[in-house]
Structure 1
Amino acid sequence: MASHSPVPRVHRVDCVVVGAGVVGAMITQQLARRGVRVVLIDRAPGIGGGCSYANAAIVAPHHVTPLATPALLREAPIQMLRRPPAVRMQPDPSILSWAGSLMASATPRRAHLAGERLSRLAAESTRLHCLLADEGLSPTLRKTGAIDVYLRSPRRRRADLLSFERLQAIEPALAPVAAGAHHTEEWTLESRSFVKAMLDDASRRGADVFFGMSAEQLLTEHGRVVGVAAEGTTLLADHVILAAGLGSATLAAQVGLNLPLRGGRGYVIDVAAGDHAPAMPVRIKEHRVVVTPLADRVRVCGSIEFGDERRPMDPGRAEALKTVAARVLPGLERAAVIDRWAGERPCTPDGVPVIGRSKAVENLSVAAGHGMWGMVLAPVTARMITEAIVDDVEPAEDAWLSPDRYDGRPARHHRALSPT
């Protein structure tokens, strides 16, 4: 799959993809499948070096929503006061302008339009995930369903809420809870195996994959991007795709493209699997904690923190997630810890991803800013990018996902989420 051998000092290809997370790997696979000569580079030493791996390992299309919503404005102060806090804003003056833009974007109308469109993309992307599994290219995708649980009865009455007794009949590992809901159309998917499968397939189709190679500079000629300089190697290409999470913003800035991405740090703690493991994912709604059973471990994931992305990981935050999870799944309390992880989910100030070709910078595409939904949306993102580059087809979603939408002209920015 991935090469560690020296790459020629000057390498000529059709496309360079920067970033080997779930999105970049999926784009590389789709381009290679269409016969494109593609090189993928990533600064990490191997699979598992970026934020794609601090995820809940769930494909749950009905839960995909924009980050900027009225619910965020209502619930964030409450979530900040919880113990442990599900939302945290670290003291950092540089985040204030971004946070202000996020709140300004959280209007009912914008949130409704963005939510509808993201839901459609998520449903289509889930269909594509299932097709990959049918082809044998996604070996850990499993349809499991999932359960939402509430430690206290929700204030709003909901027809789908079940009693604890009915929930326990579905998931025997549960401790008493006030209420919950069962969702059947959900899947689990382990991200490392998914990325490896995509890169293996891409390599079989002629793609070159280089880990331990950092993109240092976008190369331009007459205002067009013509390649990437990467640690003594020049990768010349007809098109460059930035799928490097927060690193995409730094590279885009070199050619005058503004991508105001900030990290929403998420924490993961993996514990050993055993008889205590649930049969399906369990979401603890008040605390925004997700517990997901995988083949060899149980993953506990949650929290979103904004602030200085360079600050070190706080191991106590991961341990706190395990404590919350054990209130609902008591068997986890004594489970041995396998790993702790934190990753910066790249988030935009209007709460929706950046997907598409730039019209301001020729030969440059961006696939970043997916926040918590990179795994779910990876296949549809890859299809949109591939069709734009190979078939010259601009998707209907182009305007509201465009990488050019942060060009400083408010009218254009708002027009991107107007009805079509």
Structure 2
Amino acid sequence: MESPRPLPRVHGVHRVDCVVIGAGVVGATITQQLARRGVRVALIDSAPGIGGGCSYANAAIVAPHHVTPLATPALLREAPVQMLRRPPAVRMQADPSLVPWAGSLVASAAPRRAHLAGERLSKLAAESTRLHCGLADEGLSPTLRKTGAIDVYLRPPRRRHAELLSFERLQAIEPSLAPVAAGAHDTEEWTLESRSFVKAMLDDASSRGADVFFGTSAQRLLTEHGRVVGVAAEGMTLLADHVVLAAGLGSATLAAQVGVNLPLRGGRGYVIDVAAGDHAPTLPVRIKEHRVVVTPLADRVRVCGAIEFGDERRPMDPGRAEALKTVAARVLPGLEGAAVIDRWAGERPCTPDGVPVIGRSTKVGNLSVATGHGMWGMVLAPVTARMITEAVVDGAEPADDAWLGPDRYDGRRTGYDRALSTT
């Protein structure tokens, strides 16, 4: 798959309506939506091309029913068990800098707070899935397929669910399964390969006049009288009426330059892609105890899982990816011995209250932020793009979305808590 041809880096000062920083699934979709509204937009990304950031390290599934905040009571119950599991699905390094962030995550997992946040995220996920399907209907999401998915348990779950199916019924749905204790089938799920989606978004944006610059780092936000007026980038200066930060973890450093605190940490996820043989699965399979997802794609089978917190600069552990494949082969024996095509790891940007950062800053004029989606960037990309586009073009700041705002970490009781407390 070829990336959109990057524009030559033109030295000097250039003016556009909006600069978007970050060309992952979120930034690319924002760029496409802005361009559709007639905004002259420039998109910059430090990666050499599509797939250079954490958007590639995803399960390639649009599963709206599974979108939840990272901070929940279930997380507190399950994390110790997941840390002891072999291989561990959750891992926390002994990093002192993680302590305040982890403490905030625990506090945000209070039952009422988590419940309300979960309800709102579920609504956003449902709406975003509808938008995904709309893009596919327009020919702008060429690999979106409605496949459904199954969840499997290697041991009988402690909590009984009415929708649990026997192994025999599961195998009738997915013949490649080895014996499991039980499982469930969800028909309302889709598969979507991320790089094809990003390419489609950027191709459409470019056809509408957007400029896309890969290999171009944003070095500094330019401000004047309390407003962002542009971006000093590698080899050029882009002056703009609005700037959107959609650069994953890199958004935090840029936001700090203008006094906006984004306490993001990377939740590292691993991916191993293997060749699709005759006995590959025909639909996604989630192995619940291990938090491993197996997704069949057109030319490969993706195995994705794990979340690790620690020093984001540490090198990738290839053994972690191999361990995911070993778990997957226990449930899907056809993957045993499958040739490895690729191994990858990415730092998914996670917030200490477990929900994304989406919206305009009330502290810095003309600045919007779209990051912190954690594991849900692919699912939530279209609805995030719509919210940011409405903020940029229409000046919209719906009251229901204030809880996602980028200024909620300034030490005052703003945004998130206000919105939740009035529900």
TM-score between both structures, scaled by the size of structure 2: 0.98
Is residue 366 from structure 1 mapped to residue 352 from structure 2 by the alignment?
Answer: no
Q: Distance in 2 between matches of 1:105 and 1:143?
A: 34
Query: What SS does the corresponding residue of 2:157 show, helix, strand or coil?
Result: coil
Q: 1:15 aligns with which of 15, 18, 39?
A: 18
Q: 1:384 aligns with which of 384, 387, 391?
A: 387
Partner of 1:89: 92
Q: 1:34 aligns with which of 33, 37, 54?
A: 37
**Displacement after TM superposition at 1:333 (Å):** 1.0
Query: What SS does the corresponding residue of 1:128 show, helix, strand or coil?
Result: helix
Is residue 350 from structure 1 mapped to residue 349 from structure 2 by the alignment?
Answer: no
**Displacement after TM superposition at 1:410 (Å):** 4.2
Q: Distance in 2 between matches of 1:174 and 1:227?
A: 53
Partner of 1:271: 274
Q: 1:245 aligns with which of 221, 244, 248?
A: 248
Q: Distance in 2 between matches of 1:398 and 1:278?
A: 39
Q: Distance in 2 between matches of 1:195 and 1:411?
A: 33
Instruction: Return 5+ residue gaps in structure 2 as ranges.
Output: none
Where in structure 2 are the equivalents of 1:151-166 lying within 5 Å?
A: 151-166=154-169
Is residue 203 from structure 1 mapped to residue 203 from structure 2 by the alignment?
Answer: no
Is residue 179 from structure 1 mapped to residue 161 from structure 2 by the alignment?
Answer: no
Is residue 107 from structure 1 mapped to residue 110 from structure 2 by the alignment?
Answer: yes
Once the two structures are superposed, residues 19-61 of structure 1 have per-residue CA deviations (whole angstroms, 9 ceiling, x without a partner) of: 0000000000000000000000000000010000000000000
Q: Distance in 2 between matches of 1:220 and 1:59?
A: 38
Once the two structures are superposed, residues 178-232 of structure 1 have per-residue CA deviations (whole angstroms, 9 ceiling, x without a partner) of: 0000000000000000000000000000000000000000001111100000013
1:66·1:351 contact (CA, 8 Å) conserved in 2?
yes
Q: Distance in 1 between matches of 2:58 and 2:107?
A: 27
Partner of 1:72: 75
Partner of 2:403: 400
1:405·1:416 contact (CA, 8 Å) conserved in 2?
no
**Displacement after TM superposition at 1:411 (Å):** 6.3
Partner of 2:294: 291
Q: Distance in 2 between matches of 1:412 and 1:166?
A: 46
Percent identity over the alignment is 88
After TM superposition, which residue ranges in structure 1, 4 or more long, deviate above 6 angstroms?
Answer: none
Where in structure 2 are the equivalents of 1:226-237 lying within 5 Å?
A: 226-237=229-240
Once the two structures are superposed, residues 359-388 of structure 1 have per-residue CA deviations (whole angstroms, 9 ceiling, x without a partner) of: 101010000000000000000000000011
2:231·2:237 contact (CA, 8 Å) conserved in 1?
yes
Q: 1:321 aligns with which of 324, 341, 363?
A: 324
1:242·1:368 contact (CA, 8 Å) conserved in 2?
yes
Instruction: Return 5+ residue gaps in structure 1 as ranges.
Output: none
Partner of 2:49: 46
Where in structure 2 are the equivalents of 1:328-339 lying within 5 Å?
A: 328-339=331-342
**Displacement after TM superposition at 1:409 (Å):** 1.7
Q: 1:135 aligns with which of 128, 133, 138?
A: 138
Partner of 1:168: 171
**Displacement after TM superposition at 1:274 (Å):** 1.6
**Displacement after TM superposition at 1:309 (Å):** 0.3
2:62·2:190 contact (CA, 8 Å) conserved in 1?
yes
Q: Distance in 1 between matches of 2:313 and 2:413?
A: 30
Q: Distance in 2 between matches of 1:391 and 1:5?
A: 31
Query: What SS does the corresponding residue of 1:361 show, helix, strand or coil?
Result: coil
More displaced stretch, 24-33 vs 227-236: 227-236
Q: Root-mean-square deviation (CA), in Å?
A: 0.9
Q: Distance in 2 between matches of 1:345 and 1:411?
A: 25
2:245·2:368 contact (CA, 8 Å) conserved in 1?
yes
**Displacement after TM superposition at 1:174 (Å):** 0.1
Q: Distance in 2 between matches of 1:195 and 1:417?
A: 33
Q: Distance in 1 between matches of 2:196 and 2:326?
A: 28
1:57·1:191 contact (CA, 8 Å) conserved in 2?
yes
Q: Distance in 1 between matches of 2:261 and 2:420?
A: 19
AA aligned opposite 1:155: R
Q: 1:225 aligns with which of 203, 223, 228?
A: 228
Q: Distance in 2 between matches of 1:329 and 1:409?
A: 50
**Displacement after TM superposition at 1:412 (Å):** 5.9
AA aligned opposite 1:418: S
**Displacement after TM superposition at 1:173 (Å):** 0.3
Query: What SS does the corresponding residue of 1:93 show, helix, strand or coil?
Result: coil
TM-score between both structures, scaled by the size of structure 1: 0.99
Query: What SS does the corresponding residue of 2:251 show, helix, strand or coil?
Result: helix
Partner of 1:307: 310
**Displacement after TM superposition at 1:415 (Å):** 1.9
AA aligned opposite 1:42: D
Q: Distance in 2 between matches of 1:418 and 1:275?
A: 53
AA aligned opposite 1:132: L
AA aligned opposite 1:99: A
Q: Distance in 1 between matches of 2:320 and 2:419?
A: 37
* Distance of aligned partners of 1:413 and 1:138 in 2 relative to their CA distance in 1, 3 Å threshold: closer
Partner of 2:128: 125
* Distance of aligned partners of 1:28 and 1:411 in 2 relative to their CA distance in 1, 3 Å threshold: closer
Query: What SS does the corresponding residue of 2:421 show, helix, strand or coil?
Result: coil
Partner of 2:216: 213
Query: What SS does the corresponding residue of 2:420 show, helix, strand or coil?
Result: coil
2:404·2:415 contact (CA, 8 Å) conserved in 1?
no
Q: 2:149 aligns with which of 137, 146, 149?
A: 146
Query: What SS does the corresponding residue of 2:218 show, helix, strand or coil?
Result: coil
**Displacement after TM superposition at 1:79 (Å):** 0.2
